[in-house]
Chains A and B, each alone.
Chain A
Amino acid sequence: MKPLDPRLLRQARAARGYVVLTAALGFVTAALVVAQALTIAAVLAPAIQGTLDTSRAAPLLAVLAALVAARAVTAWAQERFALRASARTVAELREQVVTHAVALGPRWLATGRGPAVATLATRGLDALEPYLVRYLPQLLLAATVTPAALAVVLGLDWISAVVIAVTIPLVPIFMILVGQLTAGTSERRLVVMQRLGAQVLDLLAGLPTLRAFGRERGPEKRVRELGEANRKATMGTLRVAFLSGMVLELLTTLSVAVVAVGVGLRLVYGDVGLEPAIAVLVLAPEVYLPLRQVGQHFHASTDGIAAAQQAFDVLDEPVRPRGTVPAPALAGATITLDDVSVRAGDRDVLAPAGLTATLGRAAGGRGSVVALTGPSGAGKTTAALVLLGLVAPDAGRVVITTPAGERHDLADLDPATWWSQIAWVPQRPTLSPGTVRDAVLDGVGQVTGEALARAARITGLDHVVAGLPQGWDTPVGLGGVGLSVGQRQRVALASALLGDPAAVPLVVLDEPTAHLDAHDEEAVLDAVRTWRDQGRTVVVVAHRASLVALADTVVTVTSAVEATSGVDTGSAADARDRVEVRS
C-alpha cells in the first residue's frame, strides 16, 4: 500500500491539481518556518545579550509580522482548497465507479458486488476526505518542512543536525518493531472485541422480538455483562495499540530535549553562538511536527487508501467489449436463442441450461407471444436478459436473421441500436423523475392525446391517474409521489404500448411475481394482446397460467448442474424437446 497511489492522481483530475497545490504550499510553509525561526533568533539573541539596536529591531519585527501573516494565509489556503478538492475528487471517482459498474452489467451487479458498490459509491468514498484533507498535506509537509528545517539546522549547528538525523529513522524503526511485537496480540484481541460488540448489538436488535414474547427482562444483565467484557477487551487492545503512539511521542519529544540540552551545554563553553542556538531550539520541534501529524492521521490514511483501492478494484474489472455493428431493423427479423447457457452466480448451476428457442417469424404480419416458463431459479429472467443483450451467455449465442437472410450475432451489435428497438417492462419498473405524463411518454416520441388515453384505459393507468392529486401532472419518482410496484408496472405497460410498433417491434415483459388482483392481471393480459395485435413479438416471462394460456409458443426454461466437461448436453436436448408450439 503506497501512501499516495499514483492511480488516484491518474483517475481524478481534481486530486492532481490539489496535490500540486499542496506540494507548493508545503514548500512555502517550509520557507516560512525557517524564516520565522531565523527572524525570532535574530531579534531575541541580541536582546538577551543586551546588544539590541532598536533601529535594527524594528524592520526585523516587521518581517516577523509579515511572516506570521503569510503563515496564516498558507494555512487558510490549504484548508480552503483541501475541502473543495476532496469533494471534487470523491465526485469524480464516484461517477467513474458507478458508470463502470453499470457498464459491467446486471449480472456482475447481482453477484453480491452490487450492494458493495452502492455502499462504496454513496458512503465508502467519503473516507477519502480525511485522507485528502488531513493526512496528505502532512505527508507533503514531512517531505518539505522536515528536510528543509534539518538542512538549516545543519548549517547552524552540525552536532544538533546529527542528533536529529540519527533519531528520525528511529521513529519508523521503533514503530515497526512495536507493531510487529504486538500484531498477534492485537489481532486476537480485536476478534474478541468485535465478537463481544456484535453480541451486544444482537441482543439489542432482538429486543422487539424478546418484547413480543415478554422475555425482555432477563437479558438486561447480560447486556451489562457483555458491555463490561467488551470494555475490558477493548482496553486490552488499546493498551497495545497506543504503544506505537507513545514510542512516536517519546522519541520526538526526547530528541528535542536532547538537542536543547546539547546546545545549552555547548553555549556555556562558547562552542555555539546564542543566535544559532535559539534558531535550532525553535526549529527542532518543527522537524518532528509533520512526522507526528502523519502518525496521528495514520488511520485516516489507511481508511482513505482502502476506499480508493476498492474503487480501483471496481474500475479494474474488465468490461465486455461492446459490439459496433449497427443492429438491423428488427421488424420481420427472426431471433434465435441457440443453445444458450448462463452460469448462475458462483454455483455450478447453469440457468438457463442449453436453451434454444426461435422468436418472431409470425405469419401474415400478426405478432406473436412467446412465454418463457419453468420453475423458479430455472433462469427465465436471465434468458430475457440474454435476449436483451444485458447478459452475455457463457455458452451458445443469440442470432438475428433479417428477412433478407443476413445473420448477425447479438454480441457484435451496437447495444444502443439494439435497445432502441425493444420495449422492456421489468418486474420492478423504475420511473424517471418528472410527472406521470413524462414517465409514460419518456423515450416514446410524439403521441396524440387519444393514443395516450387508450393506452391508459388498457392498462388501467386511468384509474391510477384519477386517484392522484394533480392527475397526469402529479410529480412522481424522486421527491414526488411514491407509486406502488403495481402502479409503476401500469405506467411502464402504457409506455410500452405507445411506441411505434414498426420502430419497436420487440416487447420483453417480466411478469411481476408479487400479488396481483383481478384488475392488475387483466391489465397485463390486455396489454399483451394489444402488443400482439400491433404486430409485435412479445416475450413474456410468465408465472401465471392465464399468461401461458395466451401464448402462441411456450418455451420451458430448465436449469442443470454443470458437468465438469462443460455444458450438460442431455438437459439441453430436454429443453429443446419441451418447446411446444400451440397455435
Chain B
Amino acid sequence: MSASAGRLRDRLAADPLWRAVRLLDVRWGRTVKAVVLGSLALGSSVALAAVAAWLIARASQMPPVLTLGVAVVSVRAFGISRGIFRYLERLASHDVALRGMAVLRANLYAALAAGRPGTVVALRRGDLLARVGADVDAVGDVVVRALIPAGVAVVVGTGSVVLLTAFLPAAGLALAACLVVAAVVGPWLSARAARTIEVRGAAARADMTSACLDLLENAGPLAVSGRLETRTAALRAADREFAAANDDGARTAGLSAGLVAGATGTAVLAALLLGLPAITAGTLTATELSVVVLTPLAVFEVATVLPAAAVQLRRSRIAAQRIMAMLDGAEPAADDAPVADSAPVGSTVHGGGTAEGTAPVARLDGVACGWGRDPAVTGIDLVLRPGRAVGVVGPSGIGKSTLLMTAAGLVPTQAGTVTLDGVAVDDVPGDELARQVVFVAEDGHVFDTTVLENLRVARGDVTPEEAREALADVGLVGWLDALPDGLGTTLGPDATTVSGGERRRLLVARALLAPAPLLLVDEPAEHLDAATADALVARLVEVCRSRGRGLLLATHRLSALVGVDEVLVLAQPADGGPAAVVARGPHTDLVRDVEAYRWALDREQSGVQVT
C-alpha cells in the first residue's frame, strides 16, 4: 500500500461522518443494489433519449418499418422501466438508511449504557433527544440523499460517456468535461454557499433567536418600560445581518446553478461542433450524429440532485460530529474494570433492612467538585452509612446537585477522594456501584409506559402491593386511585400528563423501591407547596431510617430537615469563589447556634402562612 493511500485511510478513519456511517453498519450488498436500481432508472431515461434519437434519424431515411421494430419496443420499454426502477430504488435506498439508523440508535444506546456513567447522567435531556433523534436521521439521510445519488451519477455518467466515446471519442471527452462541471464543481460550490450562510449567519441567527425570545417572553416588561421599540429594532437589525449572510451565500449558489445550466447546453453545442465536421469527414454516420447530439440532453438529470447531496453531506458531517463527541465523551476510561456479566439487578434485594451487617459506607474526604475547570464546591467531608440521613442545603445553583453526583461516583472529583467501603468509587465496577448507591436526579425520566413499569425501573420485581405502598409513602395514593387504570395507567411520553409535583413524588417513590442501600436524592420537594414538601421529606427520612438505608438529601428548604442526623450548610464566600460548608450539625443545634440559619428558617415558616 502506498503512503498516500495510507494517509487517505487515516483521514477517512478520523472523519466523524465516516465513523458515524460505519456505525450504521450498512450492508454494502444492499447499497450496491440500490445504486444498481437507481442507475437502471436514470439509465432508462438516457437510453430512451439515445434510442429515440437513433429512431428518428433512421426513420427519416424511410426504411422498411419492420427494421425499426426493436427500437420502437425499446423506447416504450424504457418509458415504462424508468418509473418502476426509480420506485424500487427509492425503497431499496430507504431500507438501507432505515436499517442503518435503527442500528446506529441501538449502537448509541449500547455505547452510552456501557460508557462512563457521569457523561450519561449529566447529558441534558434535550441534547440527548437531539443526538439520537434529528442527528441520527441526518446521518441516515446521507445514504439516501448523498451516497446513493452520487453512486448513480458516477455509473450513469460513465456509461453515457462510454456510449458517446464509442461513436465519437472527442464528443465523449466533451461530455465528460461538462459532467465534471455539473456534477462536481457545481455541487462543491453549493456546499460552499451553504457553509457561508451557516458560518456567517450563525451569529446573526443567534442574535435573531434571542431577540425573538426576549420580545415574546418579556413582552409586558418591555412594553411598560418603553423598550419595545429598541428591541424590535434589534430584531430587525439581526434579521438584516442574517439576510446579508444569505446574500453572500446566494452569490456562490447562483454561480453553481448557472454553471450546471450552462454545462448541459455546452455539452449539446460541443457535440454539434465536433459532430458536424466528423459527418463531413465520414467518420460518423447520420444516425450516430443524432445520438451524439441528443443524448446529452437527458444525461444531465444525474447532476440535478447533486448540489443538494453536497449540502446534505456537510449537514450530516456536522450531525455526526455531535454524535461522535457524545460517544467519545462516554467512552469508558481505559483502566475501568471490565464489567462481568452480572445477575440482573433486582434478583438480590438489598432493601427491607437486609443491608445491616454488610453496610456499605460512602465517605467523602476533602472533596472539591464541579463541571468546569474551577470547582463549584470545595472542602467537603462527609460519611454516609445505612440508617443515617444527611441534608445538604444552600441556595439554588450553588452546586448541591454536583456534590451529590460526585458522591455517587458519576462526576470525577477535582480534589479529595470518594470511597465506598474503602475502595475509590472510580475502581468500583458500574453495576456494583449502582447496586450500592442510587442518585435520584431532579429531572429523572418518566417513561412512556404504565405507572407500575415506571416504578419497576428501580427494581424489576416490584409487586403491585409494593408499588402501592411506595406511592402511599409519598402521598400519591389519592392520585393513584383517581387514575383510570390504577397502576396500569400509561403515563404518556415523558409524563406530560403528570403535574410537576406528582412527577417529583413519583420519582421519590421509585427511589424508595430501589434495592441500593444508599440513596442520594436531589431536591425531592420542588414544585410542591410548603406543607406537602415538608411532609414528603420527613416521610422520606423516616422510611429510610426505619429500613436501614442511608440518605443524602439536597434541598433548599430548611424546615424539612428536622429529622436528619446532620445538616451541611453550603454558602458562597462574599468574594465569589467555590462554595464551602459554613455550618454543620444537627438541625436543632444549627437553629440554636447559627443566626443566619435561624433567620432563614423563620422566614420560611412565616412564608408558609402567607402563601
Residues of A within 8 A of B (CB): 36, 40, 43-45, 47-50, 52, 54, 57, 61, 64-65, 67-69, 71-84, 86-88, 91, 94-95, 98-99, 101-102, 105-106, 109, 114, 117-118, 121-122, 198-220, 223-224, 227-228, 230-231, 234-235, 238-239, 242-243, 245-251, 253-258, 260-261, 263-265, 267-270, 274, 277-278, 281-282, 285, 373, 375-376, 385, 388, 390, 415-416, 419-420, 422, 424, 426, 429-430, 432-433, 442-443, 463, 467, 478, 484, 513-518, 521, 542-546, 548
Contact assessment for B219 and A212 in the assembled complex, using a CB-CB cutoff below 8 Å: no
What B residues does A249 contact at CB under 8 A? 82-83, 86-87
Q: A79-B253, A79-B257, A208-B445 are in contact. Are A231 and B217 (CB under 8 A)?
A: no
Q: Do A419 and B224 form a contact, CB below 8 Å, given A75-B260, A91-B239, A212-B440?
A: yes
Question: Is there an interface contact between A73 and B258, defined as CB atoms closer than 8 Å?
Answer: yes
- Contact present for B217 and A432 (CB under 8 Å): no
Which residues in B have their C-beta under 8 angstroms from that of A548? 610
Contact B289 A47 (CB under 8 A): yes
Smallest distance from the beta carbon of B326 to chain A beta carbons, Å?
11
* From B59, B62, B102, B109, contact of A207 by CB (8 A): B109
| CB < 8 Å neighbour of A204 from B109, B197, B236 | B109
Q: How far is the CA of A478 from the CA of B611 in the complex (A)?
A: 34
A219 CB contacts on chain B under 8 angstroms: 109
- Chain A residues near B80 (CB, 8 Å)? 250, 253-254, 257
Closest B residue by C-beta to A496: B225
A40 B224 Cβ-Cβ under 8 A = no
- Contact for A235 among B49, B91, B128, CB less than 8 A: B91
Q: Which of B113-121, B148-156, B476-484 contacts A (4 or more CB under 8 A)?
A: B113-121
The minimal Cβ–Cβ distance linking B312 to chain A, given in whole angstroms, is: 13
Q: A106 touches which one: B220, B249, B276, B556 (CB < 8 A)? A: B220
Contact across chains for A44 and B87 when beta carbons are under 8 A apart? no
Task: Determine whether the beta carbon of B272 is less than 8 Å from that of A44.
Answer: yes
Give chain B residues whose Cβ lies under 8 Å from the Cβ of A231. 95, 98-99, 101-102
For residue A40, which residues in chain B have a CB less than 8 angstroms away from its CB? 268, 272, 293-294
- Are B576 and A467 within 8 A (Cβ)? yes
Residues of the A chain whose Cβ atoms lie less than 8 Å from the Cβ of B293: 40, 44
Question: In the docked arrangement, what's the CA distance between A274 and B99, Å?
Answer: 51
A277 in complex: contacting residue of B44, B60, B208, B217, CB < 8 Å: B60
**Are A281 and B250 in contact (CB-based, < 8 A)?**
no
Q: Given A390-B224, A515-B396, are A478 and B207 also a contact pair (CB < 8 Å)?
A: yes
Evaluate contact between A245 and B90: CB separation under 8 angstroms. Answer: yes
Closest to B520 in A: A212
Assembled-state Cα–Cα distance A121/B434 (Å): 44
Which residues in chain B, 83-132, are within 8 Å of chain A measured between CB atoms?
83-84, 86-87, 90-91, 94-95, 98-99, 101-103, 105-106, 108-110, 112-113, 117, 120-123, 125, 128-129, 132
Q: Quick one: closest B residue to A57, CB to CB? A: B276
Please name the 5 residue pairs, one residue from A and one from B, whose CB atoms are nearest each other, closest first: A214-B434, A257-B79, A227-B102, A68-B265, A80-B254
Interface size class of B (residues with CB under 8 A): 35 or more
Does B59 contact A227, Cβ atoms closer than 8 Å? no
Question: Which residues of A lie under 8 Å from residue B529 when comparing CB positions?
Answer: 376
Give the Cβ gap from B287 to chain A, nearest Cβ, in Å. 8
Q: Would you call A388 and B224 a contact (CB within 8 A)? A: yes
Least distance between A474 CB and chain B CB atoms (Å): 13
The answer, among A78, A204, A214, A235, for a CB contact under 8 Å with B431, is A214
User: For residue B188, which residues in chain A have a CB less than 8 angstroms away from its CB?
Assistant: none
B261 / chain A contacts, CB cutoff of 8 Å: 71-72, 74-76
Using known A-B contacts A118-B213, A235-B91, A267-B56, determine if residue A213 contacts B84 with beta carbons closer than 8 Å: no
Q: Nearest CB to that of A129 among chain B residues?
A: B246
Interchain CA distance A279-B284 in the complex, whole Å: 22
Min CB distance B23 to A, Å, is 13
Inter-chain contact A84/B434, CB cutoff 8 Å: no
State A208–B434 Cα separation when bound (angstroms).
Answer: 12
Complex Cα gap A348–B291 (Å): 77
The residue in chain A whose Cβ has the minimal distance to the Cβ of B265 is A68
- Which of A218, A263, A285 lies at the interface centre, i.e. has the most chain B CB atoms within 10 A of its CB? A285
Min C-beta distance of A366 to chain B, whole Å: 25
Q: Judging by beta carbons under 8 Å apart, are A515 and B556 in contact?
A: yes
Besides A80-B251, A198-B493, A208-B125, 14 more A-B contacts (Cβ < 8 Å) are A47-B275, A64-B265, A80-B253, A87-B246, A105-B220, A207-B113, A212-B121, A212-B441, A214-B516, A219-B109, A246-B84, A257-B76, A282-B294, A544-B607
Q: Is the CB of B603 within 8 A of A44?
A: no
Given A202-B494, A227-B101, A261-B76, A268:B48 Cβ within 8 A: no
Could you say which of A91, A207, A212, A416 contacts B128, with CB atoms under 8 Å apart?
A207
Nearest Cβ distance between residue B374 and chain A, in whole angstroms? 15
* A420 CA / B234 CA spacing, docked (Å): 21
* Interface assignment of B12: CB less than 8 Å from any CB of chain A: no
Query: Which chain B residues (211-259) contact chain A, with CB distance < 8 Å?
Result: 212-228, 230-232, 234-236, 239-240, 242-243, 246-247, 249-251, 253-259
CA distance in complex: A253, B78 (Å): 8
Residues of A within 8 A of B99 (CB): 231
Q: CA–CA, A403 to B124, complex, Å?
A: 57
Q: Which of B372-402 contact A (CB under 8 A)?
A: 395-397
Is residue B209 contacting chain A, with contact meaning CB distance below 8 A? yes
**Which residues of the other chain, A, contact B610 by a CB distance below 8 angstroms?**
373, 542-545, 548
**B49, B254, B596: which has the most chain A beta carbons within 10 Å?**
B254
Task: Establish whether residues A257 and B225, one from each chain, have CB atoms under 8 Å apart when the complex forms.
Answer: no
Checking A36, A101, A251, A269 against B219 with a beta-carbon cut-off of 8 angstroms, the contacting residue is A101
- Contact A47 B444, beta carbon cutoff 8 Å: no
Most buried by A among B75, B220, B447: B220
Given the complex, which residues of B lie within 8 Å of A217, measured CB to CB? 113
Residues in chain B near residue A81, CB distance under 8 A: 250
Q: Would B434 and A48 count as touching, CB distance under 8 A?
A: no
- Pull 7 A–B residue pairs with CB atoms less than 8 Å apart, ordered by A: A40-B272, A64-B265, A200-B132, A201-B133, A205-B445, A223-B109, A253-B79
A109/B219 contact (C-beta < 8 A), A209-B445, A246-B84 known:
yes
Residues in B with CB closer than 8 Å to A230 are: 98, 102
CB-based nearest B residue for A263: B56
Contact call A205/B269, Cβ cutoff below 8 A: no
B406 contacts chain A at the CB level, 8 A cutoff: no
Binds A, one of B63-71, B353-361, B535-543: B63-71
Among B83, B227, B438, the most chain A Cβ lie within 10 Å of the Cβ of B83
Chain B residues near A44 (CB-CB < 8 A): 272, 289-290, 293-294
* B177 within 8 Å of A (CB atoms): no
- Do A268 and B65 touch (CB < 8 A)? yes
Interface-central residue, A114, A268, A419, by most chain B CB under 10 Å: A268
User: CA–CA, A27 to B591, complex, Å?
Assistant: 85
Q: Please tell me if the beta carbons of B286 and A47 are within 8 angstroms of each other in the complex.
A: yes
Q: Is B52 an interface residue (CB 8 A)?
A: yes
Chain B residue numbers with a CB within 8 Å of A48 are 57, 60, 286-287, 289-290
Do B246 and A84 touch across chains, with their CB atoms under 8 A apart? yes
Task: Check B106 against A220 for contact (C-beta < 8 Å).
Answer: yes
A49 to B83, CA, bound (A): 34
Most buried by B among A208, A212, A251, A385: A212
Q: Which residues of B contact A415 (CB under 8 A)?
A: 223
Complex CA gap A202/B533 in Å reads: 28
A253 and B49 alpha carbons, distance in the complex (Å)? 10
A258 → chain B closest CB, angstroms: 7
Verify if B72 is at the interface (C-beta below 8 Å from A). yes
Complex interface: chain A residues within 8 A of B95 (CB):
231, 235
| CB-CB under 8 A for A214 and B209, given A43-B272, A257-B79 | no
* Complex Cα–Cα for A505 and B220 (A): 19
> Once the chains bind, are B83 and A250 in contact (CB under 8 Å)?
yes
* A241: min CB distance to chain B, Å: 9
A443 contact from B122, B227, B290, B445, Cβ within 8 A: B227
Please give, as numbers and ranges, the residues of chain B lying within 8 Å of A220 by CB-CB distance. Answer: 106, 109-110, 113
Q: A235-B95, A426-B221, A521-B603 are in contact. Are A61 and B273 (CB under 8 A)?
A: yes
Q: Is B262 an interface residue (CB 8 A)?
A: yes
